[in-house]
Amino acid sequence: MSELPSSTFDFIIVGAGSAGCTLAARLTEHEHYRVCLIEAGGKDSNPLIHIPFGLALLSRFKAINWNYNTLAQPHLNNRELYWPRGKTLGGSSAINAMCYIRGVPQDYDNWAQHGANGWDWDSVLPYFKKSEDQQRGADPFHGVGGPLGVDDLRCVNPMSQSFVDAATEVGVPVNVDFNGAEHEGLGLYQVTHKNGERCSTAKCFLALAQQRKSFTLVTHALVEKILINDNRAHGVAIKVNGQSQTLGAQNEVILCAGAVNSPQLLMLSGVGPKEHLVERGIKVERDVAGVGQNLQDHLDAIVQYRCKSKESYAVALAKLPRYVQAAFNYWRKRNDILSSNIAEAGGFVRSDFATDVPDIQYHFLPAILQDHGRQTALGYGFGLHICNLYPKSRGTITLASADPTQPAIIDPQYLSHPDDQKVMIDGIRKGRAILQSQGFAQYQGEEVLPGAGKDSEEQLLAFIQQHAQTIYHPVGTCKMGADKDDMAVVDEQLNVRGIMGLRVADASVFPRLVGGNTNAPTIMVAERAADFIHQQYQLA
């Protein structure tokens, strides 16, 4: 833990994740702001965080992860799903798969149409560009000189390339920039890397804040409660090394604790659905019905094959010499296999139920990933992850108890809307067609899951119910919206309704999931939050 020079700051940011680190860097650009960032986890000193290929093993390290599990899911054979969330500097950006995706312009136009005024595509694009340091250079869609490295992969497995090459065979375009003019098609992902290493928000944003005198970082500190008096937040109660302490915020407390913990913290502090708070014995500061509601996530099904060739990344003795060489190459030049994020290729296609934009995302892995990497899968294989980008199912985050050390109850209610089942089934069929294309013939061994010949709706649904998992994109639990929207938790400047000096700025404010991965959009939210805050206090 760094020293606490003072117990009162201008701004207290809760959570050093994708959003929190970004906000800390931007607020400390103004030297007169005293900014304190509080993180429950510790330093990001595990080397596997920084070596992209280390991703394969990261979920085995419990100390950098909240290791959540959902409630038993009634539409997934009552299974409890594992939900990793980062608990270290960088938050989930320290453990994520590094795919750099923003979604489509329509996602943000949709936010604006549904009450998030000023969050349309034209308004948010400059903030994506502001954070970005695009290796390919600047263009109308991309920025250079920002803290977040966005690079092409330095190592592409031939199988990932075959996946992309299959595009023409199945009648979809090849896409060389999913964040450019067109979203649709198959292609290689760009990744949040710098010099062949993971570019978490700790590495690129927090490092900037740490150079500034007005900045204080507190690690291993659980924020237990926001201190609220007369409808105004004036600080936080934290526990560090078993010791309780309070820290004051002269201007604001900003929650960046993520889509599970931000609503949890609001409710622990008396801001949330009144009846639920009363049930848990919590004094109600403000009845805000939408806190913890509107939970959305991308459910993911994996079509898994055994591989005939030895091209795939695999746990196999015969691969050992190759891995030794790869380690040497990574040490010398930061390239080769260890610079791969494994989820190298993927794409966006339309299911038969899509409207105006692709509604399915693929992540192709030239490897067998079992149980999020928590189990070792022996042998050669490859898998295609398929997710429905716009689920209609909605879930909740609620409190198990008033004890801040108890995890919140996560109930995503996956597949509770029947339309979500149809999109997933169609996505699997379309994905299989790619893996069964000519280019894959040289690799294709046995289909392990769903299993050869299993193609009826009933069989594919049964497969999804038994095997689908999260692809880690929970959002929406403190949604942004207009005054008249009873379920809105924050306004379009991210202020919590009815409480002064309190904002939420992280993935929980998304009114609706975007059509892709959620790290870059979360960073964009934090970039905007910094501007809103600065505009307000500069004028005050």
Residues annotated within the binding site for FAD are 223
Which residues between 265 and 294 bind ligand FAD (CB under 6 A)? 265
Instruction: Compute how many residues bind ligand FAD; rule: CB under 6 A.
Output: 41
Among all residues, whose Cβ is closest to ligand FAD?
Answer: 17
Which residues between 40 and 69 bind ligand FAD (CB under 6 A)? 40-41
In 132-246, which residue ranges form alpha helices assigned H by DSSP?
A: 158-165, 201, 207-209
Cα separation, 10 vs 31, in Å, equals 11
> For strand 68-69 and strand 82-83, is the pairing parallel, antiparallel, or unpaired?
antiparallel
Backbone dihedral angles phi then psi of residue 426, each to the nearest 5 degrees: -65, -35
Q: Does residue 18 belong to the site contacting ligand FAD (CB under 6 A)?
A: yes
Q: Does residue 101 belong to the site contacting ligand FAD (CB under 6 A)?
A: yes
Q: Does residue 92 belong to the site contacting ligand FAD (CB under 6 A)?
A: yes
The pair of structure tokens assigned to 175 is 């896409």
Q: Of 24, 25, 35, 38, which lies in the binding site for ligand FAD, with binding defined by CB under 6 A? A: 38
Q: Of 10, 11, 12, 14, which lies in the binding site for ligand FAD, with binding defined by CB under 6 A? A: 14
Considering only 111-119, 420-428, 515-523, 530-538, which stretch makes contact with ligand FAD by CB under 6 A?
515-523
Nearer to ligand FAD, 261 or 398 (CB): 261
> Please, what is the minimum distance in Å from the beta carbon of residue 388 to ligand FAD?
16
Considering only 83-91, 113-121, 274-282, 448-456, which stretch makes contact with ligand FAD by CB under 6 A?
83-91
How many other CB atoms are there within 10 angstroms of residue 284's CB atom?
Answer: 15
Q: Which residues pair with 16 in a beta bridge?
A: none
> Please, what is the minimum distance in Å from the beta carbon of residue 264 to ligand FAD?
7
- Concatenate the DSSP letters of all residues of 256-281 into one string: -SHHHHHHHHHHHTTEE-HHHHHHTT
- Give the distance from CA 170 to its chain's centroid: 30
Q: Does residue 515 belong to the site contacting ligand FAD (CB under 6 A)?
A: no
Cα separation, 297 vs 517, in Å, equals 10
Write down how long the chain is.
540
Residues annotated within a binding site: 223
Backbone dihedral angles phi then psi of residue 525, each to the nearest 5 degrees: -60, -45
Single-letter code of the amino acid located at 509 = V
Q: Does residue 25 belong to the site contacting ligand FAD (CB under 6 A)?
A: no
Q: Are 365 and 437 in contact (CB under 8 A)?
A: no
Q: Are 130 and 29 in contact (CB under 8 A)?
A: no
Q: Of 473, 479, 497, 503, which lies in the binding site for ligand FAD, with binding defined by CB under 6 A? A: 473
- Say what angle helices 457-467 and 418-435 make with each other, to 10 degrees: 100
Among residues 18, 8, 147, 2, the alpha carbon closest in space to that of 509 is found at 18
> Please, what is the minimum distance in Å from the beta carbon of residue 473 to ligand FAD?
5
| Active-site choice (30, 298, 473, 534) | 473
Nearer to ligand FAD, 130 or 421 (CB): 130
Cα separation, 391 vs 369, in Å, equals 24
Sign of CA dihedral 110, 149, 94, 431: positive
How many other CB atoms are there within 10 angstroms of residue 321's CB atom?
Answer: 9
Considering only 71-79, 255-263, 271-279, 488-496, which stretch makes contact with ligand FAD by CB under 6 A?
255-263
Considering only 150-158, 259-267, 454-462, 482-490, which stretch makes contact with ligand FAD by CB under 6 A?
259-267
Which residues between 107 and 146 bind ligand FAD (CB under 6 A)? none
One symbol per residue from 479 to 508: x for binding ligand FAD (CB under 6 A), - otherwise; what is it? Answer: ---------------------------xx-
Beta-carbon contacts of 393 under 8 Å, excluding residues fewer than 6 positions away, are 296, 412, 413, 414, 415, 416, 417, 420
Which residues between 196 and 235 bind ligand FAD (CB under 6 A)? 222-223
Q: Of 85, 193, 432, 479, which lies in the binding site for ligand FAD, with binding defined by CB under 6 A? A: 85
The pair of structure tokens assigned to 500 is 């002064």
Q: Does residue 160 belong to the site contacting ligand FAD (CB under 6 A)?
A: no
Q: Does residue 99 belong to the site contacting ligand FAD (CB under 6 A)?
A: yes
Q: For residue 162, what is the DSSP state?
A: H
Considering only 300-308, 407-415, 449-457, 511-519, which stretch makes contact with ligand FAD by CB under 6 A?
511-519
Active site residue 30: no
Catalytic residue numbers, as ranges: 473
Instruction: List residues binding ligand FAD (CB under 6 A).
Output: 14-20, 38-41, 84-87, 91-93, 95-99, 101, 222-223, 256-259, 261, 265, 472-473, 506-507, 517-520, 522
